[in-house]
Structure 1
Amino acid sequence: MRKVLRTVNRVLLGLTGLVLIGAGGTALFGGLDLPRKGNLSMPSGWRWSRPDDVVLTDADRTRWTDSGWWWPVIIAALAVLVLLALWWLLSQLRRHRLREILVDSGDGEGAQLRGRALENVLTAESESLDGVDRARVQLTGRRTAPRLRAGLTLAPHADPCAVLTRLSSETITHARTSTGLKKLPAEVRLRAVKHRAERVT
């Protein structure tokens, strides 16, 4: 789902950018009166070739308004555009958190572990590491192949290399062993605590 959403985002952004660049370039081309200044011969019927040209003529705006199908089609098209825009917005805001993980229970059937429960354990164990002030852990991916995303806020005295080493050898290894996963890829972001300067008198 995440890969599909990323592809849709890129396609929509690319198409929107092309439309805006094309429309803006054409309007700028005519608005600056470049065809006349550059002695360019434009094709017959070409719009926006002079500064006084309008985007839509009166004939274009009123061509089908007397037809019975015009307003229903316009309303339906606008409704579809609004629904697509809302779907796109909600898909951006939705958190891609893994709800459950399939754990190998050894009996051939497996068991399901709540993703939030494992996240809480990983967060608590990460915050117990020396040098970690706060931790935020999120599980993504598929329930048979989860991925870990962690954001660690380090204390001023923390050694980033030591924190990463312990996180990998202890916290992530414990989670991988307890869930029976062969691997648990992790993406870790480190951030230092910023203290406000205080005035000393």
Structure 2
Amino acid sequence: MFNRVWLALTGLVLLGGGGTALAAGLFRASRPLVTASTSRWVAAHLWFWPAVAGGSLTVAMLGSAWLAAQWRCRTLRRLAMGDARARTTRMAARVAARAIAADVTSYPGVRRVRTRLSGSARRPAMRVRVMCEADADLGELAWRIRDDAMVRLRTTLNRADLGGVIDFRVKRADRNEDRRVI
């Protein structure tokens, strides 16, 4: 919610500034945007352009920090069983992550599984990273993870809203390095 408010305010400020500049360019096309007195004032005050540069740099740094904060994925520590809004039983999220990892590890062609629950208590998301053999059937694995392991986890937790992303990495037989597939 907090991010949406800041996005909306930033959008409104930028829209207002762009609309003002467009209107000034359309309706005052015969006159310069900056008057001679404004130009003299800027020339008389040597601090003006460094202040503009400092303000621009500050805005750019704040924007970059905000953007970097959007990329961070918060790991979920506790997960509600059932409706997240109600006072329900909570469990450690790592238990659910370990349960799905144990399920997926037992599938043929799977070498290693890493799981992580992220998001919020109301919108949890499971990330499953699967290291497979080169000859593994990725379609079959994806189907089994989505329609078997994840369904079993959703049923156990009574959480139909639990989504997930499956990331396959294939171990190639000819070299000892990984290649990202999906």
TM-score by length of 1: 0.54
Residues in 1 aligned to 2:166 and 2:121: alpha-carbon distance in whole angstroms: 20
Q: Which has the larger radius of gyration?
A: 1
Deviation readout 1:78-137 (Å, 9 max, x if unpaired): 6743650552354155223333322139xx730222323322332233222211122232
Structure 1 position 135 matched with structure 2 position 119: no
Match of 2:45 in 1: 64
Structure 1 position 95 matched with structure 2 position 73: yes
Match of 1:171 in 2: 149
SS of the residue 1:190 aligns to: strand
Structure 1 position 157 matched with structure 2 position 138: no
CA contact (8 A) 1:126 1:171 kept: yes
Are the structure 2 counterparts of residues 60 and 143 from structure 1 closer, same or farther at C-alpha, using a change threshold of 3 Å? Answer: same
Residues in 1 aligned to 2:105 and 2:152: alpha-carbon distance in whole angstroms: 15
Structure 1: 5+ residue stretches without partners: 16-42, 47-58
Are the structure 2 counterparts of residues 89 and 181 from structure 1 closer, same or farther at C-alpha, using a change threshold of 3 Å? Answer: closer
The AA in structure 1 aligned to 2:111 is D
- CA-based RMSD of the aligned residues comes to 4.4
Match of 1:77 in 2: 55
SS of the residue 1:157 aligns to: coil
Q: How many residues of Structure 1 are paired with residues of Structure 2 in the alignment?
A: 155
SS of the residue 2:73 aligns to: coil
SS of the residue 1:133 aligns to: strand
Deviation readout 1:140-198 (Å, 9 max, x if unpaired): 34313322232222212322232223223432122112211134333223232123459
Are the structure 2 counterparts of residues 89 and 186 from structure 1 closer, same or farther at C-alpha, using a change threshold of 3 Å? Answer: closer
Residues in 1 aligned to 2:42 and 2:106: alpha-carbon distance in whole angstroms: 67
SS of the residue 1:165 aligns to: helix
Residues in 2 aligned to 1:184 and 1:148: alpha-carbon distance in whole angstroms: 7
SS of the residue 1:195 aligns to: coil
Runs of 4 or more, structure 1, over 4 Å off, are: 1-5, 43-46, 59-62, 70-76
The AA in structure 1 aligned to 2:157 is T
Structure 2: 5+ residue stretches without partners: 15-29, 34-39, 177-182
